[in-house]
Structure 1
Amino acid sequence: MSQRRQLGQQLRAVVKVLCVSDAPDYEQPWQSQGPINSVGSGVIVETSRGLRVLTNAHCVANHEFVEVRRYGKAQKVVASVEAIGHECDLALLEVDDESFFTGMAPVAIGKLPRLGDRVSVCGYPIGGERLSITEGIVSRIDLVCYAQSNRELLAVQIDAAINAGNSGGPVLKDGLLVGVAFQALDEGEQIGYMIAPPVVKHFLKDLEDGTADGFPALGVTAQQLESRAHRRSLGLTDDQTGGVLVKRVAHGGSAYNMLAPGDVLLAIEGEPVAADGTVELRDGELVHYRYFVSRRHV
């Protein structure tokens, strides 16, 4: 299949998401802030319940009315929010009109891209009404604070432009979904972020039982052990160059009654924890040990 034809098939799975939301007024709880119209993006994916539109949670948060429109089509179709995960900033939309999916193939979810990979960001950002495609390079893979929930989860940094309206749009590589655009860093230039494939897969698998349980956390505050003298004072040998010191364990958390302040966490899932709290993700790429916890299912 030619690249042009493959791209055409992928574009048919890109969706414009139009939402009317009405957020509560927390200072005056007897009234709302009033309706707001917003535009986001989405992509058609296959789930255990059939074809759905995958988008960002913040695109449909406090929704009152949601419509979707396919690429190349003028007609808008009413959609309902089937599931929403504010923690990972993802949501699934259900479209009752089955004809909406006619002639459309869902985009399969690929693997976590590698540093230096070239990717394409598709969506409906500000600056026009039609579909926009920008290209960028994967520049970093790390835990990132998701603005929607203030939770640190795995994300991929790219240098492609991600603007308002791009949110929820697919990031593609070799015909596969390798990320979902969701936020940018205002303090820098050309610093955008996409939700990593493992997070997307976790969200979809989590919904297979009909309940969104979210992403687990260890519930531990830990201190780095980069000082040799500090490690020795804790009884570690000079050969034990890694590990982090547990300073606090959240009451009722995942590690409650399993870890205690003063313990040294040397490994997680058999992977050594370095003195700065990182573990090897793959081929020398490092990520904080919290990722190994959050990728588990509750």
Structure 2
Amino acid sequence: MDPHRPQPSRPTAAAARVEAGPLRTFLTLIALGTTAVVLAVGLAGVWRFFVPPVPTFDPDAEPRVVAARGDLAADELATIELFERSVPSAVSIVTSSAGIFQGRTAQGRAFEMGTGSGFVWNADGIIVTNHHVIEGARTILVSLDEREAPFLATLIGSSQEHDIAVLKIDVRKAYLRPVPIGTSSELRVGQKVFAIGAPFGLQRSLSTGVIGATERLIEDENGRGLAGLVQTDAAINPGNSGGPLLDSAGRLIGMNTAIASRTGTFSGIGFAVPVDTINWVVPHLLRTGTAPRPGIGVRLEDPAQVALMGLEGALVRYVHEGSAAARAGLRGHSLTASGEVLGDLIVGVNGERVASPDDLRALLVRYAVGESVTLDIVRSGRREQRVVELGSLENLER
């Protein structure tokens, strides 16, 4: 290095601090400004959230102009006309387990009240509803119109197996509008249906839907089988039970009776007793107070025992002498030299599967006394068929 060549000077630490001072000040000002903006925006948001703005009033405010509606759609008009024509045939029902409608009995015990629906059967004051609507009731009130006082009803007869009950009220014929009767044998999946009733006690309510299926077999909350039901997606809720299910002509095609639900309220699937069953049972209830229970006249083995044997169906333990089953050649358990021989195992009725005694009873109750059905049975390991003309069981089958 040439000692005589001038060398570049290096800034001292103090000089560096002097040179960096303005830059640091500038950056600090920017950071402080940014922080102030963020805080201002945040505080403004907090202020708007916790402190509502002062309202401004418009002394000249007027109602909005109503837009022109135009004509209702044809299907809307049809539904409205059907409801207005049919709703006088629907009734609401309130029941009590005590003789008077108060919160407690004379002894201070609380009692239950229930609600349901029904429909006018004829001009003689006959009302039809579900058996489970009036089951256990001591007092039954029927309302034809929510604007008028209800009528005290008398129970004429009831069929638990069909879930049908017949009531009578004392009222002038001019106040009654019997529902037109249709047929359930011609129902087709997809056709429109209309349910009228009092869901949750809300009288004169309408819901609409379609038929989802026919000939459904379900169990009620007590484990009793109900067969031949009409399935629909028309909303059916507690209080709808017993109300009419109508077709698009306003004819009765069923009576709302049950829902498929895990919550106790409508979940999209409801069931109705078909009108053909109603039209067969009601006259019997009016004549005698009971409906003949069609059956074959057998005693069946306990389902738990059948399951332990590894079998599925209705196992015949005993055949009543002179019964429909005896005439058709069905056999119960018997003893032979080689031991006990099991009776016939019924596994089907008219092609529909029977997995238990309840299935058999639920399927047979769809038919009338005197009708013939074909039973699929298993005897000694072989599948056979027997044609049986149904009889009136009374109390033979247990």
The reply to whether TM is greater than 0.5 is yes
1:1-298, aligned counterparts within 5 Å? 3=78, 4-21=80-97, 34-46=110-122, 50-71=124-145, 73-96=147-170, 98-99=171-172, 101-112=173-184, 113-126=187-200, 129-141=202-214, 142-147=216-221, 150-173=224-247, 174-187=249-262, 189-218=267-296, 219=298, 247-252=315-320, 254-256=324-326, 258-260=329-331, 273-274=350-351, 291=363, 294-297=366-369, 298=392
- Distance in 2 separating the partners of 1:114 and 1:9: 24
Asked if the contact 1:46/1:108 (under 8 Å) is kept, the reply is no
Q: 1:176 to 1:250 in 2, by over 3 A?
A: farther
Q: TM-score, normalised by structure 2?
A: 0.55
Q: Looking at secondary structure, tell me which structure has more helix per residue.
A: 2
Task: Give the deviation of 1:179 after TM superposition.
Answer: 0.7
Give the deviation of 1:74 after TM superposition.
2.4
Paired with 2:346 and 2:132, the residues of 1 have a C-alpha distance of 35
- 8 A contact 2:220–2:226 mirrored in 1: yes
* Contact 2:295 2:364 (8 Å CA) reproduced: no
Give the aligned CA root-mean-square deviation in angstroms: 3.6
Query: Retained in 2: the 8 A contact 1:18–1:40?
Result: yes
CA deviations 1:15-39 (Å, max 9, x no partner) are 11011125xxxxxxxx998421111
Q: Tell me: CA distance 1:246–1:190, structure 2 relative to 1, closer, same or farther (3 Å).
A: closer
In structure 2, the CA distance between the partners of 1:276 and 1:69, relative to structure 1 (3 Å rule), is closer
Asked whether the 8 Å contact 1:21–1:60 carries over to 2, the reply is no
Q: 2: CA distance between counterparts of 1:76 and 1:275?
A: 44
Larger radius of gyration: 2
**In 1, Cα distance between equivalents of 2:244 and 2:319:** 39
SS at match of 2:279: helix
Q: Distance in 1 between matches of 2:361 and 2:194?
A: 29
Where is the strand percentage greater, Structure 1 or Structure 2?
1
In structure 2, the residue matched to 1:235 is none
Shift of 1:275: 8.5
Are the structure 2 counterparts of residues 194 and 263 from structure 1 closer, same or farther at C-alpha, using a change threshold of 3 Å? same
Hey, what's the Cα distance between the residues in 1 that align with 2:109 and 2:163? 22
Deviation at residue 145 of structure 1 after TM alignment:
2.7
List alignment gaps of at least 5 residues for structure 2.
1-76, 99-106, 302-311, 333-342, 370-391, 393-398
What is the CA-CA distance between 1:296 and the residue it aligns to? 1.3
The letter of the residue matching 2:272 is: M
Is this contact kept in 2: 1:180–1:194, CA < 8 A? yes
Give, in whole Å, the separation in 2 of the partners of 1:35 and 1:77: 21
1:213 Cα shift? 3.3
- Cα displacement string for residues 132-174 of structure 1 (whole angstroms, at most 9, x for unaligned residues): 1111111121233344670332211111221110111111111
Tell me how far 1:186 sits from its aligned partner.
Answer: 1.3
Equivalent pairs counted in the alignment come to 252
